[in-house]
Structure 1
Amino acid sequence: MLLDGATLTCAQVAAGGPVSIGSLDRAGAAWRTAQSLAGPVYGQSTGVGANKDTAVEQGGLDLLRSHAGGAGPLVSEARARAMLVVRLNQLLAGGSGVNPALLPVLAEAVNGGFTPPVRTYGAIGTGDLTALATTALCLLGEREWRGPGGASGPGPRFALSSGDALPFISCGAATLADAALAVHGLRTLMESAVTVAARSFTAVGASAEPLAPAVHEARPHRGQAEVAVRLRGMLTAEEAVRVQDPYGYRAFAQVHGAAMDGLERAERVVEVDLNAATENPLFHGELAWHNGNFHAAPVALALDALRAALVPTAQLSAARLATLMEPAYTGLLPFLAGSQGRSGAMILEYVAQDALAELRLLSAPAAGGTAVISRGTEDHASFATQAARAALRCLEPLEIVLACELVAARRALSQRGSAGEPDRPLDADLDEARRELSG
Structure 2
Amino acid sequence: MTQGQATVRIDGHSLSCRTIAQVARDDVGVQLDPAALERAREAWEQAESIAQRRQVYGRTTGVGANRHEAVDGEAAVGHALRLLRSHAGGAGPLLRDDHVRATLVVRLNQLAAGGSGIHPRMLEALARTLVEGALPAVHRLGAIGTGDLTMLAEIGLTLAGERPWAVGGLPAVQVDFGDALALMSSNAATLAEAALACGDLQVLLRASHVVAALSYRALGGSPEAYAAAVHRAKPHPGQVLCASEMRRLLGMEGSAVAGRRIQDPFGLRAFPQVQGPALDSLADLERILEIEVNATAENPLVSTDLGDVFHHAHFHTAYVAVALDQARAALHHVAELSTARLGDLVEPGMTDLPPFLASGPPGSSGVMILEYVAQDALAQLRHAALPVTLGTAVVSRGLEDHASFSTQAARQATAAVDSFRLVLACELVAAVRALRMQDADIAHLPVGKAFDRAVEVLEPALEDRSLTADVELAAGLLPELSGI
In the superposition, the TM-score normalised over structure 2's length comes to 0.88
Q: Distance in 2 between matches of 1:12 and 1:89?
A: 11
In structure 2, relative to structure 1, the CA distance for the partners of 1:417 and 1:391 (3 Å cut) is closer
Aligned to 2:411: 389
Please provide the CA RMSD for this pair: 1.3
Q: How does 1:84-99 map to 2 (within 5 A)?
A: 84-99=104-119
Q: Distance in 1 between matches of 2:420 and 2:106?
A: 26
Aligned to 2:325: 304
The unaligned stretches of length 5 or more in structure 2 are: 1-7, 441-459
2:238 to 200, 215, 223: 223
Aligned to 2:476: 435
Q: Distance in 1 between matches of 2:240 and 2:223?
A: 14
The structural deviation recorded for 1:181 is: 0.6
Give the percent of matched residue pairs that are identical in Structure 1 and Structure 2. 51
Q: Deviations over 1:125-153 (max 9, x none)?
A: 000000010011111100111115xxxxx
Runs of 4+ in 1 over 3 A off after TM superposition: 417-420
The alignment status of 1:105 with 2:118, answered yes or no, reads no
* Counterpart AA for 2:30: V
Aligned to 1:269: 288
Aligned to 1:29: 42
Q: Distance in 1 between matches of 2:473 and 2:461?
A: 20
Q: Deviations over 1:50-80 (max 9, x none)?
A: 0000111322210100000001011111101
The structural deviation recorded for 1:240 is: 1.4
Q: Distance in 2 between matches of 1:391 and 1:211?
A: 29
* Counterpart AA for 1:423: D
Q: Distance in 2 between matches of 1:193 and 1:156?
A: 47
The alignment status of 1:14 with 2:21, answered yes or no, reads yes
Q: Distance in 2 between matches of 1:364 and 1:421?
A: 38
In structure 2, relative to structure 1, the CA distance for the partners of 1:156 and 1:106 (3 Å cut) is farther
Aligned to 1:372: 394
Secondary structure at the counterpart of residue 328 of structure 1 = helix
Secondary structure at the counterpart of residue 72 of structure 1 = strand
Q: Distance in 1 between matches of 2:469 and 2:439?
A: 25
The structural deviation recorded for 1:417 is: 4.4
Aligned to 1:256: 275
1:358 to 380, 387, 410: 380
Aligned to 2:446: none
Q: Deviations over 1:9-59 (max 9, x none)?
A: 111111123111112232122111111112111001110000000111322
Q: Distance in 1 between matches of 2:171 and 2:152?
A: 15
Q: Distance in 1 between matches of 2:10 and 2:291?
A: 14
1:409 to 420, 425, 431: 431
2:311 to 290, 303, 308: 290
2:384 and 2:416 in contact (8 A); partners too: yes
Q: Distance in 2 between matches of 1:420 and 1:323?
A: 21
Q: How does 1:203-214 map to 2 (within 5 A)?
A: 203-214=218-229
Aligned to 2:143: 123
The structural deviation recorded for 1:157 is: 2.8
The structural deviation recorded for 1:438 is: 3.5
Aligned to 2:347: 326
1:74 to 94, 102, 114: 94
Q: Distance in 2 between matches of 1:92 and 1:373?
A: 30
2:115 and 2:302 in contact (8 A); partners too: yes
Q: Distance in 2 between matches of 1:191 and 1:51?
A: 49
Aligned to 1:151: none
Q: How does 1:133-212 map to 2 (within 5 A)?
A: 133-147=153-167, 154-212=169-227
Q: Distance in 2 between matches of 1:117 and 1:389?
A: 18
Q: Distance in 2 between matches of 1:130 and 1:32?
A: 27
Aligned to 1:341: 363
2:465 to 403, 406, 424: 424
2:62 to 30, 36, 47: 47
Secondary structure at the counterpart of residue 178 of structure 2 = helix
Q: Distance in 2 between matches of 1:157 and 1:299?
A: 34
Deviates more, 1:98-107 or 1:239-248: 98-107
* Counterpart AA for 2:348: P
1:3 to 4, 10, 22: 10
1:336 and 1:420 in contact (8 A); partners too: no
Q: Distance in 2 between matches of 1:199 and 1:29?
A: 57
2:420 to 398, 405, 414: 398
1:13 and 1:85 in contact (8 A); partners too: yes
2:17 and 2:199 in contact (8 A); partners too: yes
Q: Deviations over 1:170-200 (max 9, x none)?
A: 1110000011011011011111000000000
2:80 and 2:175 in contact (8 A); partners too: no
Secondary structure at the counterpart of residue 135 of structure 2 = coil
The unaligned stretches of length 5 or more in structure 1 are: 149-153
1:108 and 1:156 in contact (8 A); partners too: no
The structural deviation recorded for 1:119 is: 0.6
Secondary structure at the counterpart of residue 302 of structure 2 = strand
* Counterpart AA for 1:385: T
Q: Distance in 2 between matches of 1:33 and 1:372?
A: 33
Q: How many residues align?
A: 434
Deviates more, 1:197-206 or 1:231-240: 231-240
* Counterpart AA for 2:31: S
